[in-house]
Structure 1
Amino acid sequence: MLTHCILSVDYSDEWDKIYDHLPHLIDLLGIERLTLVYAVEPQNRRRLEDDDVAIDGRLRRLGDDISGKLGVSVASDVRHGFPASELSAAARKHGADAIIALNRSHSAGRAALFGNSVMHLVRVARVPVLVIPYDGEPSQPNAPIMLASDGSDASRNAQRHFEQLAQNATASKVVWVKDDHAGEAEDERMQPFLDDMQRRFTNLESKRMSGDPADKISSYADHEGVALLIIGKRGNTPIAELLVGSTAEAVARTSHRPVLLVP
Structure 2
Amino acid sequence: MRVVYATDLSEASHAAVRTQPCLECLQRIGVTEVHLVTVVAADMHYGMPGFDFAKTKKQLLQGQKKVFEDAGFDVETHVVRGTPHRRINGVAEAVHADMIIVGSRGQSPLRDRVIGSTARNIARTSVRPLLLQRITKDGEEYEVARKYLFRDIMFATDFSENANQAFEQVKRIRNATQKVTLLHILPRYELGEDADRARKEAKDKLQSHAETLEQWNIETKIIIREGEPITEILAVEEEVSPTLTVIGSRGKSRLRRLLLGGTSERIVGRAKGNVLLVPPQSR
TM-score (norm 2): 0.79
Structure number, greater radius of gyration: 2
Amino acid at match of 2:165: N
Higher deviation after alignment, 117-126 or 99-108: 99-108
1:246 deviates by 1.6
Cα distance, 1:47–1:125 mapped onto 2, change above 3 Å: farther
Please say if residues 218 and 255 of structure 1, whose CA atoms lie closer than 8 Å, have aligned partners that are also in contact. yes
Cross-structure match for 1:42: 42
Cross-structure match for 1:120: 121
Cross-structure match for 2:210: 198
1:233 deviates by 1.8
Cross-structure match for 2:159: 151
How many angstroms apart in 2 are the aligned matches of 1:56 and 1:254? 33
Q: How many residues align?
A: 259
Provide structure 1 residue ranges, at least 5 long, that are not aligned to the other structure: none
1:175 deviates by 0.7
Cross-structure match for 1:16: 14
1:143 deviates by 4.0
Cα distance, 1:105–1:215 mapped onto 2, change above 3 Å: farther
Amino acid at match of 2:41: E
Higher deviation after alignment, 157-166 or 136-145: 136-145
Amino acid at match of 2:204: P
Cross-structure match for 1:33: 33
Amino acid at match of 1:98: M
How many angstroms apart in 1 are the aligned matches of 2:207 and 2:186? 16
Asked if residue 131 in structure 1 is aligned to residue 127 in structure 2, the reply is no
Alpha-carbon deviations, 1:7-56, whole Å to 9, x = none? 11112232233133632431343211111111111234655275322322
Alpha-carbon deviations, 1:229-256, whole Å to 9, x = none? 2111225x34543336621111111112
Please say if residues 231 and 262 of structure 1, whose CA atoms lie closer than 8 Å, have aligned partners that are also in contact. yes
Secondary structure (helix, strand or coil) at the match of 1:64 reads helix
Cross-structure match for 2:56: 54
1:137 deviates by 2.7
Secondary structure (helix, strand or coil) at the match of 2:177 reads coil
How many angstroms apart in 2 are the aligned matches of 1:164 and 1:85? 27
Asked if residue 209 in structure 1 is aligned to residue 225 in structure 2, the reply is yes
Cross-structure match for 2:140: none
How many angstroms apart in 2 are the aligned matches of 1:109 and 1:186? 38
Cα distance, 1:186–1:167 mapped onto 2, change above 3 Å: farther
How many angstroms apart in 1 are the aligned matches of 2:123 and 2:233? 18
Amino acid at match of 2:202: M
Cross-structure match for 2:96: 95
Pairing partner for 1:177 from 170, 185, 208: 185
Secondary structure (helix, strand or coil) at the match of 1:154 reads helix
1:211 deviates by 2.7
How many angstroms apart in 2 are the aligned matches of 1:105 and 1:67? 29
Higher deviation after alignment, 75-84 or 160-169: 160-169
Secondary structure (helix, strand or coil) at the match of 2:178 reads coil
Pairing partner for 1:241 from 252, 257, 264: 257
Secondary structure (helix, strand or coil) at the match of 1:201 reads helix
Alpha-carbon deviations, 1:58-112, whole Å to 9, x = none? 22332023321x221111011111111111000011111111001123999759x
Amino acid at match of 1:158: A
Higher deviation after alignment, 180-189 or 116-125: 180-189
Higher deviation after alignment, 33-42 or 132-141: 132-141
Cα distance, 1:115–1:64 mapped onto 2, change above 3 Å: closer
Paired residues for 1:211-230 under 5 Å: 211-230=227-246
Please say if residues 222 and 257 of structure 1, whose CA atoms lie closer than 8 Å, have aligned partners that are also in contact. no
Secondary structure (helix, strand or coil) at the match of 2:43 reads coil
Cα distance, 1:168–1:87 mapped onto 2, change above 3 Å: closer
Asked if residue 163 in structure 1 is aligned to residue 175 in structure 2, the reply is no
Cα distance, 1:22–1:180 mapped onto 2, change above 3 Å: same
CA RMSD of aligned residues (A): 3.1
TM-score (norm 1): 0.84
Please say if residues 203 and 224 of structure 2, whose CA atoms lie closer than 8 Å, have aligned partners that are also in contact. no
